[in-house]
Amino acid sequence: MDPIRIDEHPKPIKGISCSVKNCVYHDGKTQCTAGKIAVGPSNAVTSGDTLCATFQLKETDQ
């Protein structure tokens, strides 16, 4: 059986345009490389109510 491979350079998710450049999964342009994302909350009534639950703050040296 082949070992599970972890892709260190995942491809961007097609159809997702993200501007959150301080997320560890952001490619620095407009794309997300998380592989998959989760968006919520379930009680949202406007687009402004929603957020990406997969977001993780990118650590910087500053």
Provide the binding-site residues for ligand SF4, judged by CB under 6 A. 16, 18, 20, 23, 25-26, 32, 34, 37, 52, 54-55
Place of tokens 């097609």: 14
Based on CB atoms, which residue is closest to ligand SF4, 3 or 41?
Answer: 41
- Min dist CB 18 to ligand SF4, Å, is 3
Q: Residue 54, class by beta-carbon neighbours within 10 Å (0-12 exposed, 13-18 middle, 19+ buried)?
A: middle
Is-contact 19 40, C-beta < 8 A? no
Based on CB atoms, which residue is closest to ligand SF4, 1 or 9?
Answer: 9
